[in-house]
Amino acid sequence: MTEYYTTVGEYLGKRLVDVGIEHYFSVPGDYNLILLDELLKVDGLEMIGCCNELNAGYAADGYARERSGPSALVVTFSVGALSAVNAVAGAYAEDIPVIAISGGPNTNSEAELEVLHHSLGKLDYKYPHEIFSRVTADSVIITDPSTAPQLIDHAIEVAMRQRKPVYIEIACNIANALTSAPPARTFTSGIQSDPSTLAAAVEHAAKLLNAAEKPVLLAGVRMRPAGAIEACRRLLVQTSYAAASMPNAKSMIEEDCDGYMGIYWGPVSDPGCSEIVEAADACLAVGPLFTDYSTTGHCTALNHDNMIIVEPEAVRFSNMVYTKVAMADFLEALTPQLEKNDGALVTYRRIQEPPRPRAGEATDTDLSVRFLFDRIRNLITSDSTLLVETGDSWFNGMDMPLPGGARFEIQMQYGSIGWSVGATLGYAVSNQNARLVSCIGDGSFQLTAQEVSTMIRYGMKPIIFLINNGGYTIEVEIHDGPYNNINNWNYTKLIDVFNAEDGKGWATKVKTQKELDTAIDYAQTHDGLCFIEVLIDRDDCNKNLLRWGNRVAGNNGRPPRVN
């Protein structure tokens, strides 16, 4: 083999390295074994074997979040790929560029009328590609080595530019076939702004904002795929605006900066925050995503006539839309045009409530959720990440002030329970030096518990708080029923099982405040995964979950319209 040739599998692996991927998450199957052999030959690329494909997809999601870049998972045809669909769909909803790679049938099978295993028992092998086309930005099948480079490059380019998942299926008998070697190239991320449209949008926004008496900035989750978090932070420093984050954008505005008011979440916003945001005479909303979850059942009172909505590739005013304007470009160009104005911030400080008192010295009394999260707060430093599962942990995590530099991860748009276990694996693999603290409910944990064994296998060291309150608490508050009850496991014993002969996982169960403090003290010194099961009363939940659940239930329960 000369320098001008490589195999299809190696070509793909080298392109993954080119876009910054150092690990991929995989589950083997006979259709992808040769492909896995080829990927193992690629320098700078390490395989992380997972327990199942759904978890591998969640891990790829967490990995991409940590590095604000792409990730990859490799599965087998049909049974493996379709098992991963839910995780890939979640990545699509959350703007996470996961590259989903699947082995495929032999190129001769369909022509020779072969009915294959792992299929639907029909001579139709395109259905995984068709299914993935609904939850990805690009979906390709590679059956010819000569066209592999073009199709692989195009799919990766789409993932990078749109910050969405893509699907690449490679026939099992061409994974080790020769194709052209990958030349050096750059994969673009995002669009190139049109200069004239950008200038017009900036002029329009500056005129509106500079004329306002009490402008505010509202930070939304789409700042991340647009690569605009730092640009937004610089604008805030320049302007002295009062600022709030939407719930799924928590930590994208550093919470110890002067202008930060808290989380804007309609009727469950931080005290004083909604009053200032909704009364503003101009609101610069950067990357918002207004859904029933992020608006508490569409119960916000924003004045859209006064809003400037900055999307990843457009800027919207009440009466005008500017297209082909990249968010980061817009914010960078707008910042020097804005005058300082702390009018809204002064008003906020006037009505601001004092911080909630911290929990005091531990006693032998039973734990409460509030005490638990006060203690978790002590663990979070500027290089930490707090990752929370769907449920009560959302709301308790929202209430926790974070130091500058700390990160917060949540899957709010898709809200797939069980996401956090796999995401914890991927996040920890991507950055093994930072402290990762994950808060996971018992119901969610039961969906994806196996991947804790993978964390132990690869030496990951997160601190996991398993919050055991006997069921699906978030569903209880939306609509209760016997289906929200689960079988109680002896969770800490699972760590003994997962450790096998040489694992370094440590687990303990705590019920009182003193037991929790002792466990946290030890967890900070243990050289391995720490798993702390926390026993909480079933009815002990954040008050905002109660308010939010009632509003969402009301929105879900609207009667059908009668024409």
Q: Give the tens place of pLDDT for each residue, 196-232.
A: 999 999 999 999 999 999 999 999 999 999 999 999 9
Q: Give the number of domains in the chain.
A: 3
Cα–Cα distance measured from residue 397 to residue 389, given in angstroms and rounded to the nearest whole number: 10
Given 301, 322, 351, which residue is the final one in a domain? 351
Whether 21 is in a domain gets the answer: yes
Q: Is residue 20 part of a domain?
A: yes
CA 253 to chain centre: 16
Under 8 Å between Cβ of 395 and 542: yes
Tokens of 513: 């405040």
Distant-in-sequence, close-in-space partners of 506: CB < 8 Å, separation ≥ 6: 495, 522, 523, 526, 528, 529, 530, 531
Would you state the structure tokens that stand for residue 147, as one six-digit string? 């066209």
Q: Which range marks the domain in which residue 247 is found?
A: 195-351
pLDDT in tens, 313-340: 999 999 999 999 999 999 999 999 999 9
The answer to whether the beta carbons of residues 415 and 293 sit under 8 Å apart is: yes
Residues 385 and 533 in one domain: yes
Residue 358 lies in a domain: no
Length of the chain: 563
pLDDT digit string, tens, across residues 176-188: 999 999 999 999 8
Q: Tens of pLDDT along 405-421?
A: 999 999 999 999 999 99
Confidence of residue 84 (pLDDT cuts 50, 70, 90): very high
Asked whether residue 96 is assigned to any structural domain, the reply reads yes
Q: Are residues 266 and 389 in the same domain?
A: no
Residue 189 lies in a domain: no
User: pLDDT grade, residue 1 (50/70/90)?
Assistant: very low
Of the candidates 221, 372, 370, 387, which has an alpha carbon nearest to the alpha carbon of residue 310?
Answer: 221
Interval 289-299 mean pLDDT: 89
Grade residue 142 by pLDDT with cuts at 50, 70 and 90.
very high
State in Å, rounded, how far the first CA of the chain is from the last one: 70
Tokens of 383: 């290089």
Domain shared by 217 and 266, yes or no: yes
If asked whether residues 200 and 175 sit together in one domain, one would say no
Question: 214 and 338 share a domain?
Answer: yes
Do 501 and 391 have their domain in common? yes
CATH classification of the domain holding 67: 3.40.50.970
Average pLDDT along the chain: 93
The amino acid at residue 401 is P
426 and 531 in a single domain? The answer is yes
Domain boundary among 295, 318, 351: 351
436-471 residue pLDDT tens: 999 999 989 999 999 999 999 999 999 999 999 876
Residue where a domain terminates, one of 136, 153, 180: 180
Average pLDDT over every residue of 56-77:
97
Report phi then psi at 320, rounded to 5. Answer: -160, 145
